[in-house]
Amino acid sequence: MPYPDTLSPVPEAPKTDSRPALLDQIGATPLLPLRRIGAHLPDTVTLWAKAEHLNPGGSVKDRPARQMIEAGLASGAYQPHHTLIDATSGNTGIAYAMIAAALNRDVVLALPENASAERKAILRAYGAELILTDPMEGTDGAQAYVRREVEAHPDRYFYPDQYNNDANWQAHYTHTAREIIDQTDGAVTHFVAGLGTTGTFTGVSRRLKEHNASVTCVAMQPDTPLHGLEGLKHLPTAEVPGIYDDTLVDTHATCSTEDATAMTARLAQEEGLLVGPSAGANVTTALRIAETLDSGHVVTILCDTGTRYLSDD
Ligand code: PMP
């Protein structure tokens, strides 16, 4: 059949719909079996990774950013004259900057000065203004800056406050967990997530336990206060997020930066998945759990793309 020599006309975008189409590109990510990394597991045990790095902003944080912004727009807390402000180690900021650009709104982000160069460049490329805070204070220092600024100028800002905003975990309760249940035909037995704002762990675990009370939820943290797992918190030495629900934790786990880095390289080289170090930490932990099982479906999260870390070495 020959190709037609005229192309069909491109449909015009509806002019009345002010909701950016970008928002519908977030979520519905694939759930991938890690067949090579899990090759030594029995056939009855599957290691699954939710490919959140395939979101349009390159990370799992597109989901809560969309949910918090849409909740703010719906409640009136986010007015057209407001600048969006928040503290973020990077990925939520990228998601805010991406979505706010599509909504034609301004963004100010506070982040520790040692966040990776790629992240800062991406944020600036979306048009965000950056406030770089003391790296020794981590994301807690960035949060303190934002609180002072919002207190001083309450009418200037929409402050989603991802550490204390229920829409953060609700994004994962409503979408991420439902997708995991559907994609495993309801058979998920274990869920492993590293703790940052704790939104992923709290939202997914809450929904999975409602689906099946015997699902085991594993909360992972870096093994030391000074670590290289960007996006994760060492809770004993950090401010505990308000949305964290430790009653959902069945097992606590830790992961070293070295083990996470080694697994991140394996994910790229054995599975073709170029993801960041917190994804390596998640898969390290999920594999350790899977290795103790006779049967089960262990699900974890590939939090962000690895392209943001290539100049860190
Ligand atoms: N990994 C990375 C790379 C992140 O940016 C984040 C978010 N801080 C997390 C893991 C943790 O996710 P959550 O905030 O939902 O706990």
- CB 154 within 8 Å of CB 51: no
| Confidence at 115, pLDDT banded by 50, 70, 90 | confident
Asked if residue 3 is part of any domain, the answer here is no
What is residue 12's predicted lDDT score, i.e. its pLDDT?
62
C-alpha radius of gyration, the chain, whole number? 20
Which of 123, 200, 205, 275 to mutate to test ligand 1, by most ligand atoms within 8 A of the CB atom? 200
Q: How far apart are CA 149 and CA 109, in angstroms?
A: 11
Alpha-carbon distances of 212 from 204, 217, 274, rounded to whole Å: 12, 11, 32
The residue among 215, 281, 268, 270 whose CA lies nearest residue 38 is 270
Q: Summarize the confidence of residues 169-184 as an average pLDDT.
A: 98
**Which residue would you say has higher pLDDT here, 8 or 52?**
52
Is any atom of ligand 1 closer than 6 Å to the C-beta of 63?
no
What is residue 16's predicted lDDT score, i.e. its pLDDT?
46
Distance of CA 89 to the CA centre of its chain: 11
Residue 69: count other Cβ atoms within 10 Å of its Cβ.
22
Asked if residue 12 is part of any domain, the answer here is no
Asked if residue 7 is part of any domain, the answer here is no
- What percent of the chain stands above pLDDT 90? 83
Residue type, 223: D
Residue type, 59: S
Q: How far apart are CA 33 and CA 30, in angstroms?
A: 10
Report the CATH number that the domain containing residue 209 is assigned in CATH.
3.40.50.1100
Taking the complete model, does pTM exceed 0.85, yes or no?
A: yes
**How many domains, in total, are found in the chain?**
2
State the chain's mean pLDDT as an integer: 93
Residue 31: helix, strand or coil by DSSP? strand
Could you tell me if 274 and 308 lie in one domain? yes
Asked if residue 243 is part of any domain, the answer here is yes
Asked if residue 279 is part of any domain, the answer here is yes
Could you tell me if 214 and 236 lie in one domain? yes
- What percent of the chain stands above pLDDT 70? 94
Asked if residue 13 is part of any domain, the answer here is no
> Which protein residue's CA is at the shortest distance from atom 10 of ligand 1?
231
Q: How far apart are CA 109 and CA 97, in angstroms?
A: 9
Look at residue 266 and tell me whether its pLDDT is greater than 50: yes
Q: How far apart are CA 303 and CA 274, in angstroms?
A: 11
Could you tell me if 143 and 187 lie in one domain? no
Q: Which of 59, 89, 205, 278 is catalytic?
A: 278
Could you tell me if 145 and 271 lie in one domain? no
Is any atom of ligand 1 closer than 6 Å to the C-beta of 278?
yes
Could you tell me if 150 and 173 lie in one domain? no
Look at residue 109 and tell me whether its pLDDT is greater than 60: yes
Q: 51 pairs with which residues across the strands?
A: 302
Look at residue 11 and tell me whether its pLDDT is greater than 70: no
Tally the residues of the chain: 313
Domain of 86 in residue numbering reads as 62-158
Look at residue 37 and tell me whether its pLDDT is greater than 50: yes
Which stretch of 205-214, 257-266, 301-310 has the lowest confidence by average pLDDT?
301-310
What is residue 114's predicted lDDT score, i.e. its pLDDT?
87
| Confidence at 10, pLDDT banded by 50, 70, 90 | low
The residue among 87, 81, 139 whose CA lies nearest residue 109 is 87
Alpha-carbon distances of 198 from 9, 103, 139, 240, rounded to whole Å: 46, 27, 14, 9
Q: Summarize the confidence of residues 19-28 as an average pLDDT.
A: 96
Asked if residue 10 is part of any domain, the answer here is no
204 CA distance to ligand 1 centroid (A)? 13
> Where does a domain end: 113, 141, 158?
158
Residue type, 178: R
Look at residue 15 and tell me whether its pLDDT is greater than 80: no
200 CA distance to ligand 1 centroid (A)? 8
What is residue 5's predicted lDDT score, i.e. its pLDDT?
64
